[in-house]
Structure 1
């Protein structure tokens, strides 16, 4: 078991009930889209194209770097559960390192993630690079 998986293994409360694990402060929890983000956009209606699409080289390099640095890499995709096998085979064949895949993300764009923890969002604009800190306006709940 690698260091990341040890950090993510199930935690238990005083009653022995399973609870969500807590990541160390230095570990980032990346949720990454697949189609149009790490490879060309392949609609669910054309699953035969999922087999042959090529990954974006910069995505492969940066995501594997983050994984190797100990961060949690999970794919969050609009692909449906019926595309799990072809998706996992494609990720593995192309050398992506990751911890999990979440299927069934709603299609479209107007995402609002509401959480009791700080959530950082980065819009993919065509190239993966190291992340930098910039300040932008955001929507927040009014007091």
Structure 2
């Protein structure tokens, strides 16, 4: 993992508090199981070592990384699976900046933020993203 050179550090009293993303840099949070490889449940961690990678995911994510975008894996795998997951990602050549463990399982969760959050459902093939119209839930005005 290497730092993204396009990021500017935000400092308060000399202490770095968060990076500032330029407008041309996207911050991708990517699921692992069933999105970049076979869908392996946490109850079968021994299968994580041999999960088959989805080649189009590897190619697309590494391209986004090389373009300067931020790639962070956001997975339902628990902290105890971090080492096997990092080893697997390295073995298959995934480039990324970080990994967040313990995402809620089941997919029925909402991210509430004071910034725009975009979500894309993986449906079997990784490609470049396109603009489309969709119905979303928002707060009542």
Q: Give the TM-score band, short-chain normalised.
A: over 0.9
User: 1:6 is matched with which residue?
Assistant: 5
User: 1:114 is matched with which residue?
Assistant: 112
Q: Given the alignment, which residue of 33, 43, 46 partners 1:45?
A: 43
User: 1:67 is matched with which residue?
Assistant: 65
Aligned residues: 141
The SS at the match of 1:20 is strand
More divergent stretch after superposition (15-24 vs 51-60): 15-24
Q: TM-score, normalised by structure 2?
A: 0.94
Q: Given the alignment, which residue of 81, 100, 108 partners 1:102?
A: 100
RMSD over aligned Cα, in angstroms? 1.5
Aligned-residue offset at 1:11: 2.8
1:81-109: per-residue Cα shift (whole Å, max 9, x none)? 00011000000000000000000111111
Aligned-residue offset at 1:138: 0.8
Q: Distance in 2 between matches of 1:40 and 1:123?
A: 16
Q: Distance in 2 between matches of 1:141 and 1:78?
A: 27
User: 1:36 is matched with which residue?
Assistant: 34
CA contact (8 A) 2:6 2:68 kept: no
Q: Distance in 2 between matches of 1:71 and 1:28?
A: 5
CA 1:9–1:49: 2 relative to 1, 3 Å: farther
Aligned-residue offset at 1:22: 0.9
